Structure 1
Amino acid sequence: MKEIAPDIFVETRYPPYNLGLIVLDEGAIVIDVPPRPSHARSWLREVQQQAGHIAYVVLTDAQPDRLIGAVQWEVPIIAAEETARRLNELRQDREPWEELLLAARERYPEEASALHILEPRRAKLATNQRLLIHCQEPPLVAESVTGAAPGSLWFFVPAKSILFAGDCVTFNTPPLLEHTPSIQLWTKMLATLAQRRPVQRVVPGRGTDVILRGELETQREFFRVVQRTAVQLASQHVPGEGLSHAITDIQQIFFPTISKNSPAMQRLRRGLTYLVQTETSSKQLLEIGDKMISAQE
């Protein structure tokens, strides 16, 4: 665990995402919990040794890994309203929850028994805009945003000018693209963050532990390139033709150090494939609409 400012820590040893810790007199605030039970227990021990009492766990989006991670601790949850709604739905309908646990047990078969007993829990605090937490002055801020997945949430520590961005920001590794509600709105959100002067440093959800706000430009340029590439590939005579070549080109430009068969490369491949499929579907719907209008005329 690395201390990036007094009483602010980042942990990068428990995949698949970065974790955070904010130590306060009233109790610690933890940013995310890893999905693997042994990692969740290790993270809990680290936090307790460093901070003692834990006041809240912040859930930075509603991806399955984060949902499974958060319920492993008996600690109140702070989440975006959409994430809180998802947790409530999982409490009411067991089948989707069992499907999430089954996928986790397949990834971590040696920890199947610990996963089998997990139960979804309600969020204690939820917001669809901004939530001020008056543990210090100025207050901490949880902010609902459009990002990598439904229920994305930032957590800002104004006294230290540090923003925990979850998977809304990644650095030196491809972002998750296949779960985003809107890459266009996500791109606008990054532009807004890039201009937010009170934020000096950002803790990405994946990759490097902390970056300067100005370094967001790398991800913004990546978004411009992948969106332009997706439009071009969707416009091919055979939609998606040339996808493999495009993925290789983007990897060599933005992520030259990741290996061909690594999880990061697979994430890039899934993401660009998703964007091409989305663009192709949109193009087909527009063509159908044009045909219907022409027929009416």
Structure 2
Amino acid sequence: MIRVAEGVYVETRFKGGNVGLIDTEEGLLLVDIPPNPADVKLWQHQVMEVGNKPILYAINTDDHPLRVMSNNLLKVPKIAHQAVWEDLATPKAPYRQIFREFYKAYRDQEPPDNFGDLMPAMAFSRRMSLYKGRRLIRLIALGGTTPASIVVHIPGEKLLFTGALVVTNTHPDLCMADSAQWLEALAYIKKLSVKLIIPGSGNPCGKEAVDKVAEYIRKARAAVKDIYKAGKSRSEVAKLVNDFLPLFPVSPQSENEIKALIKTGLSHIYDEFKAG
């Protein structure tokens, strides 16, 4: 676990993305929960080593299955965007399918039929401010990676947890995205007065990482738009995968997985253009 500011920590080693810890005078706030049950236990142990304080809340930065599938394993109130509550309360078929794919990949079993145990205790639609001791923590809804994407801003430290809106060591996951809204979210992040960004995956970084993700999305949208405007079929986006593969780090053992991720994301953008 890395200490990135006074009382603020990030763990970057768990599969599925980063998780964060904010230590306040009143207790601890967690940013996301690891999807792997063994990692949840390890994370709890690390959290307790920071300080013998109660965990007040865990914050879900979006409703991607990787961010919510372990909500029932950590018995503390969850805070999330209203869309997280809605997707878990009345999940539609596309969300169920994506949830099933990730759940089976991480748990090697079928997901529960009912997502009631995963639902947040508190939800908001635009902004939420938490005042804990001398800390102000601002939750800001931006959308982008999913309709439920939020950032966690600690103004006093000029620090921002971006969730999956910004990543540094893996390809952006476009499978549930509104790609145009994602670009708007990144533009908003660029304007915030922050010196340190905690990305959804990878090491803490500066705003240069925001530019890299934005360029990736712009390139993806332009390439797919050319295919769509030419009247070509959705399957044609598969020919773009190798062009995008080198744009973010890829380990040899994960190459096939990342290629599938890129193809799914480009196909999703095609569907966005088709839907108008």
Q: Which category of TM-score, normalised to the shorter sequence, fits these structures? A: 0.7 to 0.9
- Find 2:212's aligned residue among 195, 218, 222: 218
| Residue matched to 1:120 | 117
| Residue matched to 1:267 | 261
Change in Cα spacing, 1:51 to 1:262, as seen in structure 2 (3 Å) is farther
| Residue matched to 1:171 | 168
Contact 1:27 1:55 in 2 (8 A): yes
TM-score (norm 2): 0.87
CA distance in 2, matches of 1:273, 1:100: 18
Write the mapping of 1:91-110 to structure 2, written as runs, cut at 5 A: 100=99, 104-105=103-104, 107-109=106-108
| Residue matched to 1:55 | 56
CA distance in 1, matches of 2:27, 2:100: 30
Change in Cα spacing, 1:41 to 1:115, as seen in structure 2 (3 Å) is farther
CA distance in 2, matches of 1:185, 1:118: 27
AA matched with 1:140: I
Write the mapping of 1:130-145 to structure 2, written as runs, cut at 5 A: 130-137=127-134, 139-145=136-142
Contact 1:62 1:86 in 2 (8 A): yes
| Residue matched to 1:87 | 88
Change in Cα spacing, 1:124 to 1:238, as seen in structure 2 (3 Å) is closer
Deviation at 1:232, TM superposition (A): 0.6
Deviation at 1:117, TM superposition (A): 11
**Aligned CA-pair RMSD:** 2.9
| Residue matched to 1:17 | 17
- 2:183 matched to 1:190? no
Long gaps (5+) in structure 1: 283-297
| Residue matched to 2:197 | 202
| Residue matched to 1:74 | 75
Contact 1:101 1:116 in 2 (8 A): no
CA distance in 2, matches of 1:127, 1:30: 17
Contact 1:17 1:205 in 2 (8 A): yes
AA matched with 2:198: V
The alignment-based identity, stated in percent, is: 21
AA matched with 2:183: T
Change in Cα spacing, 1:214 to 1:71, as seen in structure 2 (3 Å) is same
Deviates most, 231-240 or 221-230: 231-240
Larger of the two Rg values belongs to structure: 1
CA distance in 1, matches of 2:147, 2:244: 26
Deviation at 1:126, TM superposition (A): 1.7
CA distance in 2, matches of 1:100, 1:274: 16
CA distance in 1, matches of 2:274, 2:96: 31
Write the mapping of 1:213-252 to structure 2, written as runs, cut at 5 A: 213-240=207-234, 242-252=236-246
CA distance in 2, matches of 1:103, 1:168: 19
| Residue matched to 1:64 | 65
Deviates most, 41-50 or 24-33: 41-50
Deviation at 1:114, TM superposition (A): 11
AA matched with 2:25: D
